[in-house]
Amino acid sequence: MRTVEWHAGKVRMIDQRLLPAEFCQIDLEDVAAVAQAIRDMAVRGAPAIGATAGFGMALAAHTSPADERDALLADLERAANVLLATRPTAVNLAWAVKRTLRRAEAADSADAIRTALLAEAQAIADEDVTINQRLGAFGAALIPDGATILHHCNTGALATVDYGTALGVVRAAHEQGKRVHVLVDETRPRLQGARLTAWELQQAGIPFTLIADNAAGHFMRTGQVDVVLVGADRVAANGDVANKIGTYKLAVVAKENGIPFYPCVPTSTVDLDLPTGDDIPIEERSADEVTGITFHGQRVVPEGVRAANPAFDVTPHRYVTGIVTENGVAYPPLAMTLARMVKESQ
Ligand code: MRU
């Protein structure tokens, strides 16, 4: 089953806010609803957001009353801006919006635009699955039999259209018969690890142990981690990596302990227009995500407490052992090897 798909003229997605308690799909009928779903994280994970934005553009074309090509293109520009304003860090969103807009501009009538946009959105979604499978095969070659893998956030089928990036690597290693064990970071404050990664690994029958984020350093220092695998929301041209908040700490501790640290990304996550990670916009989410937690049914944080909630951090490229892509593993000097990987996809 796909995380997001086109279904009977609507955008259908798994509502990830309800997992693991409830598995439910929602059908979205206009671009405002798609934007809201991305903002609220009914759908999340960089590649899944990209595919959703592609379908959002197709939906905008289908729901627009415009008869003329230029009027439809103007509606699509507006839809693009609505989608682009949802979440700033994952570059896949802007990448998919630009890709669909380019395709629309090449069509010569309103009808042709509508047909072309749906085909392009479908291609983005289909490619995502095959890209992840290729990436998984390259990554699995790095995983020794019997390895313990530390993983942060959720990078599985739910974060993509299907299969996953870093968790796709885990899945591929498992499918090859390697014995792997995953240490799953809870990933506060939204708990994508505890809720979504634990759920996916359970479904796939891959052995794992859930740990509090604060325990990761202990497991690394005491020799209980062989490799750290994460996804990414944007990789700058020099190999700096923006990913879920907490990733930077993992990378530093991994290097301190001689443990390889591999971000696993489709090349659509690499932003060659940004020279370094300092230029990556970091999403600041609502303080409620931090303060609203409950324990034994009770609110944990006193009312009125101020909280900061950056959703991502940047890991400088010196902590990166290599970046696994669908075109192979990019090793330092990343500025050179990443550019080559991206070019191979064009
Ligand atoms: O805030 P989220 O849940 O969208 O953040 C997701 C991540 O940080 C993932 O690691 C990243 O998008 C890569 S998913 C294949």
* pLDDT tens digits for range 305-314: 999 999 999 9
The mean predicted confidence, pLDDT, of the chain is 98
Residue ranges around ligand 1 (CB below 6 Å): 44-47, 90, 153, 155, 159-160, 165, 192, 230-233, 243-244, 311
Same domain, 22 and 141: no
- The CATH number covering residue 26 comes to 1.20.120.420
Q: Over 90: is that where the pLDDT of 346 sits? A: no
Residue with tokens 């370094």: 276
- Encode pLDDT of 287-330 as tens digits: 999 999 999 999 999 999 999 999 999 999 999 999 999 999 99
- Encode pLDDT of 4-56 as tens digits: 999 999 999 999 999 999 999 999 999 999 999 999 999 999 999 999 999 99
Cα 331 to Cα 309: distance, rounded to the nearest angstrom: 32
The pLDDT > 70 percentage for the chain reads 100
Q: At residue 258, what is the residue type?
A: G
Same domain, 120 and 141: no
pLDDT on residue 182: 98
Q: At residue 337, what is the residue type?
A: T
Same domain, 275 and 166: yes
Measured in Å, residue 7 CA sits from the centre of ligand 1 at 24
Domain boundary among 97, 115, 132: 132
Same domain, 275 and 304: yes
Tokens (6 digits) for 133: 């499978």
Domain boundary among 132, 148, 177: 132
Mutate-to-test residue for ligand 1 from 15, 86, 154, 234, highest number of ligand atoms within 8 A of CB: 154
Domain boundary among 132, 147, 172: 132
Please report which confidence band the pLDDT of residue 339 belongs to, taking 50, 70 and 90 as the band edges: very high
Measured in Å, residue 230 CA sits from the centre of ligand 1 at 9
- Encode pLDDT of 186-202 as tens digits: 999 999 999 999 999 99
Q: Over 90: is that where the pLDDT of 97 sits? A: yes
Measured in Å, residue 66 CA sits from the centre of ligand 1 at 35
Q: Which H or E run includes 143?
A: none
Alpha carbon 261 to chain centroid, angstroms: 17
Q: Over 90: is that where the pLDDT of 205 sits? A: yes
Q: Indicate which atom in ligand 1 lies nearest the CA of residue 152.
A: 10
Q: Over 90: is that where the pLDDT of 276 sits? A: yes
- Which 3 state secondary structure label does DSSP give 184? strand
Mutate-to-test residue for ligand 1 from 44, 290, 324, highest number of ligand atoms within 8 A of CB: 44
**Rounded average pLDDT over 264-275:** 97
Same domain, 118 and 211: no
pLDDT on residue 183: 98
Q: Which H or E run includes 52?
A: helix 46-63
Mutate-to-test residue for ligand 1 from 135, 171, 234, 243, highest number of ligand atoms within 8 A of CB: 243
Same domain, 199 and 264: yes
Q: Over 90: is that where the pLDDT of 79 sits? A: yes
Same domain, 29 and 107: yes
Show the domain range for 221: 133-345
Residue 204 zone, left/alpha/beta (φ > 0; ψ -120 to 50; rest): alpha
Catalytic residue among 75, 233, 271, 313: 233
Cα four-point dihedral sign 158, 163, 164, 168: positive
Is 279 catalytic? The answer is: no
How much is the pTM?
Answer: 0.97
CB 259, CB 226: distance < 8 Å:
yes
Measured in Å, residue 107 CA sits from the centre of ligand 1 at 33
Residue ranges of alpha helices (H) inside 106-149 are 110-140
Same domain, 59 and 193: no
- The CATH number covering residue 186 comes to 3.40.50.10470
Cα 50 to Cα 117: distance, rounded to the nearest angstrom: 14
Number of compact structural domains in the chain: 2
